Amino acid sequence: MNRKIGVIYSYALMLVEVFSAMLFTPFLIRMLGKPDYGVYQLIMSITSYLTLLDLGIGNAVVRFMAKFRTNNDLKKQREFLGIVTIYYAAIALIAVIVGAVLIVVFPTAFANGLTPDEIATGRKLLVITVLNAAVMLGTSSFSTTLVSYERFSFSKGMSILATLARILVCVIALKLGFGSFGVVVTYFLANVITRGLYIIYVLRVLKLKPVFRNPDFAFIKETVSYSSFVLLQMIATQINAMADSVLLGILAKGSAAIIAVYGAGAQIIQYFKTVGTHVNGVLMAGVVRLVEGGAGPKELEKEMVRIGRLLFMMLGLVFTVFIVNGKQFMILWAGESYEKGYMVAVAIMVPVMFQLVQNIGNQVLWAMNRHKTQAVIQIVSALVNIVLTALLIMWKPLEGAVIGSVIALTIGDVVCMNTMFRREIKISLIGYYSGLFKGVLASLLICAAAGIAFNRFIAVGDGWLSLALRCAVMLAVYALTMLTFGMNSYEKDMLFRPLKKIKSKLTKKGDINVQG
């Protein structure tokens, strides 16, 4: 039940984040202008690397807390929470120190790509974003404890409220002329309040108080051994996600404008990722229970197909609709000068889609503690990405950055992951992909054909209403094909069960009224 509630809340949060950001981002772009928006995107990319100081412990907290809860071991939960609380406090301090170094070296590192005014703006933004990263890291033991306890109604509910409040305050700050500085200050204050409430919930509601006395160093060793390889995967993911903006800022002349265009496409990718990551984020505790219960390869493959199909249905639809209508969307959403952002988004969406769909397999490997070789391969491919992208940027900045990312993501997060799933989990890749694609792939192809035909033969204009109509036609065709042959009985039951319950309640209520 908790997983179902978590998925529901995750999708509610996803919808709030995606739609509020899609409405807010074009407003932000127009209020800041291309150069300032490029600097803002660059600073967000740089600061995101500070999250690597987590060193993979966040994943370990969820894994071990879920394991201790399964074994009803409250003592170990409290001791573990004490260990990771001390750890994260130290990491927050390190983040501030590293951030101070970044602020000092920023003018030298980006002197080639940014103007003096852009450098001054970037340093000012860095001060706040570094403090924000320190707050996020320093309180991570409590936010991940909520995930391991599967308290999604509180954690996700708070995130929904914080997202809405943050966007509202940001709009006011921009209208008042505070620019990008007002935006990052608003994000910082929202995180301080939200994380403070997380701490109170863990201490007062869960009544889980950390124990700081006599830490179990043998257990610390086990945690670090597990999390160090998760860290390598985090580093690989972060490099693949953010290296392009940083390398463009260092290597490309007039990079602020190029980063702005790349950032617009990357923003679409971020929305796309949100669809998948919110669901995967609530599954780890359940995966741990499955593995701890001794599930075999067939059962794990079945779980991977079951979760993967649900994600592929949604991500595949978004991808297909964007391929057909994305160029028009980018022009309407960000402006004609950001049209090339469509190319950025479409190219990177392909490997990202498969990465997200099969991410449940990564969580199985983490739960089984069989992710070490996988992590090493991923970090090697990410380092290759840096070298390859740097060379390609010097050939053609925007196109080179995209090509480098696509190659790295395909090798590191698709090909290598499939190899590890077959070797470590012992699943059949033929069985996995045939189960994943069955009915869904055909529905997506028919949806794409219908969208292309509609755009070619029916003239409906180029505004927002015409875009909505084009997307609605594709959605209707997709829904019809999925209901006809795309979905299996389990998926149809998931879709119609809530409607049946509502109908049943209304029927009972009507019978009571008649009897009354």
- The 3-class secondary structure across 318-355, one letter per residue, is HHHHHHHHHHHHHHHHHCHHHCCHHHHHHHHHHHHHHH
Which residue has tokens 């084009």?
470
Q: Per-residue pLDDT for 6 more than 90?
A: no
489 and 381 in a common domain: no
C-alpha span between 288 and 306 (Å, rounded): 17
Q: Which helix (H) or strand (E) holds 463?
A: none
Q: Per-residue pLDDT for 14 more than 60?
A: yes
356 and 503 in a common domain: no
C-alpha span between 395 and 398 (Å, rounded): 9
| Per-residue pLDDT tens digits for 422-464 | 988 888 999 999 999 999 999 999 999 999 999 998 877 788 9
Task: Please name the residues in contact with 150: beta carbons below 8 A apart, sequence gap of 6 or more.
Answer: 2, 3, 6, 282, 285
Which residue has tokens 């190899």?
419
Q: Does a structural domain hold residue 515?
A: no
Sign of CA dihedral 271, 274, 276, 279: negative
HSE (CB half, 13 Å, CA atoms) of 316?
24
For the chain, what is the domain count? 2
Give the three-class secondary structure for 428: coil
Give the three-class secondary structure for 73: coil
405 and 277 in a common domain: yes
343 and 452 in a common domain: no
Structural domain that includes position 192 = 2-438
C-alpha span between 409 and 402 (Å, rounded): 11
Q: Does a structural domain hold residue 237?
A: yes
Would you state the pLDDT for residue 58?
67
Average pLDDT of the segment spanning 296-304? 86
Nearest residue to 220 via CA among 127, 126, 83: 83
Q: Does a structural domain hold residue 80?
A: yes
C-alpha span between 312 and 104 (Å, rounded): 44
C-alpha span between 454 and 104 (Å, rounded): 55
| Per-residue pLDDT tens digits for 478-501 | 999 999 999 998 888 877 876 777
Would you state the pLDDT for residue 42?
87
Q: Does a structural domain hold residue 164?
A: yes
Q: Does a structural domain hold residue 98?
A: yes
Per-residue CA distances from 455 to 58, 175, 233, 330, 459 (Å): 46, 37, 41, 16, 7
Nearest residue to 119 via CA among 109, 130, 128: 109
Would you state the pLDDT for residue 127?
93
**Under a CB-based contact definition with an 8 Å cutoff, are residues 272 and 354 in contact?**
no
**Under a CB-based contact definition with an 8 Å cutoff, are residues 378 and 413 in contact?**
yes
267 and 219 in a common domain: yes
455 and 337 in a common domain: no
474 and 360 in a common domain: no
Would you state the pLDDT for residue 274?
76
Torsion of CA 426, 431, 435, 439, to 10 degrees: 160
Q: Per-residue pLDDT for 513 more than 60?
A: no
Token pair for 429? 């890749």
337 and 279 in a common domain: yes
Q: Does a structural domain hold residue 134?
A: yes
Count CB-CB contacts under 10 A for residue 468: 12
Q: Per-residue pLDDT for 82 more than 70?
A: yes
Nearest residue to 268 via CA among 324, 336, 343: 343
DSSP tally for the chain: helices H, then strands E: 21, 0
At 1, the pLDDT band (50, 70, 90 cuts) reads very low
Burial 192-227 (b: 16+ CB within 10 A, else e): eebbeebeebbeeebebebbeeeeeeeeeeebeebb
Q: At what angle do helices 440-457 and 429-437 cross, to 10 degrees?
A: 40
Last residue of a domain, one of 406, 421, 438: 438
Q: pTM for the full model? A: 0.71
Last residue of a domain, one of 412, 438, 464: 438
| Per-residue pLDDT tens digits for 317-342 | 999 999 999 999 999 988 888 888 99
426 and 286 in a common domain: yes
417 and 483 in a common domain: no
**Under a CB-based contact definition with an 8 Å cutoff, are residues 208 and 145 in contact?**
yes
**Under a CB-based contact definition with an 8 Å cutoff, are residues 135 and 95 in contact?**
no
How far out from the chain centre does Cα 188 lie? Answer: 19
Sign of CA dihedral 350, 351, 352, 356: positive
Last residue of a domain, one of 438, 468, 494: 438
Q: Does a structural domain hold residue 516?
A: no
Give the three-class secondary structure for 144: helix
Average pLDDT of the segment spanning 386-401? 89
Q: Per-residue pLDDT for 72 more than 60?
A: yes
Average pLDDT of the segment spanning 297-311? 87
| Per-residue pLDDT tens digits for 275-284 | 777 665 555 5
Q: Does a structural domain hold residue 514?
A: no
**Under a CB-based contact definition with an 8 Å cutoff, are residues 408 and 385 in contact?**
yes
C-alpha span between 278 and 14 (Å, rounded): 7
Nearest residue to 130 via CA among 50, 234, 246: 50
| Per-residue pLDDT tens digits for 351-385 | 999 988 988 887 788 777 776 777 787 788 888 88
Higher pLDDT, 150 or 348: 348
Q: Range with the lowest mean pLDDT among 121-135, 183-197, 231-245? A: 231-245
Burial 245-270 (b: 16+ CB within 10 A, else e): bbbbbbbbeebbebbbbbbbbbbbbb
460 and 404 in a common domain: no
472 and 382 in a common domain: no
